[in-house]
Amino acid sequence: MTLTNVNSPLTLTNGVEIPCVGYGTFRTDPAVTAQAVQDAIGAGFRHIDTAMVYENETGVGQGIKSSGVPREELFVTSKLWNTDRGYEATKAAFQASLDRLGLDYLDLYLIHWPANEKQFGPDAAKINAETWRAMEELYAAGKIRAIGLSNFMPHHVKQLLETAKVKPMVDQIEVHPGWTHAAEIKELQAMGILVEAWGPLGGQGAKVLVNPTMQKIAQAHGKTTAQVSLRWIIQQGVLPLPKSIHVDRIKQNMDLFDFELSADEMKEIAALPNLGGQCKDPDEVDF
Ligand code: A2P
């Protein structure tokens, strides 16, 4: 592990650098988002992840502005929501996200969920391909520095690659102890795709942070269970996106580079049973 801090860059296949931990905003109340993002940037985060469906892009943009940190020093991601799939709608939705954020480019834009066959039957692949075609054009036009996917399992990615001209640089999936996606991570990484972890602490209501195994390992390193969870993700070469609106926790979620989990500890965490989280199958969702 050569990473030295939360902003040490990983390099995407197109050469773009991305800070190796990002600040997540899933379920951040729009009313507190601007302050939370300003706090996160103030604490040192330079990578912010939002999405149209979080309804807090406006607050993210305000937090970025009031932070006083120059735009080019920040890495900002947003995502295309499911109701905006397709070539024309994707372009319009992207511009609407930019407008809400008050930015003139994004560092990374993701398709939030694949259109699945359960909802769209045989048209699913075509819908994803058309959505991607619009993303490719926005990328070629210089409006997005890198493009990628979210909640795409390897079989969705392979299907997309049948028509894609630009290979996705990132895939953001749910990863936390008890919901490992270990095989999928390896497969995506073998395709040259950087895997990002959403819900890296299990999200609201999960038992990850109070699990006795996690507590035992945390105690052994003098760290918290949240830090152990994030470290376990980082040591798999995956980029975690922890969300917190509390400054003390935000700081904790950056302080991940003064300890290392052993191979045995990594395995012990990987073997934990389901501890909650969203744990949704992208082929089964109906939104
Ligand atoms: P809060 O925003 O009130 O701090 P995830 O990133 O997996 O979605 O999980 C985020 C959840 O975990 C939120 O409920 C967040 O609450 C909480 N959380 C974030 N960081 C920490 C931490 N270091 N310790 C304990 N809970 C945390």
Note the pLDDT tens digit of each residue in 208-251: 999 999 999 999 999 999 999 999 999 999 999 999 999 999 99
Give the pLDDT band of residue 206 (cuts 50, 70, 90).
confident
- Is the CB of residue 253 below 6 angstroms from any atom belonging to ligand 1? yes
Mean of pLDDT over the chain: 97
Structure confidence by residue, pLDDT tens digits, 145-201: 999 999 999 999 999 999 999 999 999 999 999 999 999 999 999 999 999 999 999
pLDDT of residue 21: 98
pLDDT of residue 187: 98
pLDDT of residue 18: 98
φ, ψ for residue 239 (rounded to 5)? Answer: -100, 110
The residue whose CA is least distant from atom 18 of ligand 1 is 244
What average pLDDT score do residues 89-105 get? 98
163 in helix, strand or coil?
coil
Sequence-separated (6 or more) residues with CB below 8 Å from residue 150: 79, 110, 111, 112, 113, 171, 172, 173, 196, 198
Tell me how far apart the alpha carbons of residues 50 and 24 are, in angstroms, rounded to a whole number. 7
Residue 262 has pLDDT above 60, yes or no: yes
**Residue 85 CA, ligand 1 centroid: distance in Å:** 30
Tell me how far apart the alpha carbons of residues 204 and 157 are, in angstroms, rounded to a whole number. 28
- Is the CB of residue 277 below 6 angstroms from any atom belonging to ligand 1? no
Residue 1 has pLDDT above 90, yes or no: no
With beta carbons less than 8 A apart as the criterion, state whether 163 and 194 touch. no
pLDDT of residue 265: 98
Tell me how far apart the alpha carbons of residues 28 and 39 are, in angstroms, rounded to a whole number. 13
pLDDT of residue 4: 86
Ligand 1 atom showing the smallest separation from residue 24 Cα: 6
Flag whether the pTM goes above 0.95: yes
pLDDT of residue 205: 83
Structure confidence by residue, pLDDT tens digits, 107-146: 999 999 999 999 999 999 999 999 999 999 999 999 999 9
Ligand 1 atom showing the smallest separation from residue 229 Cα: 7
Domains and CATH numbers, the chain: 9-270 (3.20.20.100)
Radius of gyration of the chain (CA): 18
User: For residue 173, what are the β-bridge partners?
Assistant: 197
Q: For residue 40, what are its two tokens? A: 């996160």
Give the pLDDT band of residue 2 (cuts 50, 70, 90).
low
pLDDT of residue 20: 98
279 in helix, strand or coil?
coil
Sequence-separated (6 or more) residues with CB below 8 Å from residue 53: 79, 81, 82, 112
Instruction: Using alpha carbons, select from 199, 241, 237 the residue that is nearest to residue 76.
Output: 241
- Write the DSSP symbol of residue 176: B
Pairing mode of beta strands 239-240, 75-80: unpaired
**Residue 209 CA, ligand 1 centroid: distance in Å:** 9
Q: Which amino acid is at 188?
A: L
The residue whose CA is least distant from atom 16 of ligand 1 is 244
The residue whose CA is least distant from atom 25 of ligand 1 is 226
pLDDT of residue 273: 97
Structure confidence by residue, pLDDT tens digits, 220-231: 999 999 999 999
- Best mutation site among 246, 256, 275 for ligand 1, i.e. most ligand atoms within 8 A of its Cβ? 246
With beta carbons less than 8 A apart as the criterion, state whether 135 and 98 touch. no
Structure confidence by residue, pLDDT tens digits, 12-64: 999 999 999 999 999 999 999 999 999 999 999 999 999 999 999 999 999 99
Tell me how far apart the alpha carbons of residues 71 and 53 are, in angstroms, rounded to a whole number. 23
φ, ψ for residue 207 (rounded to 5)? Answer: -100, 15
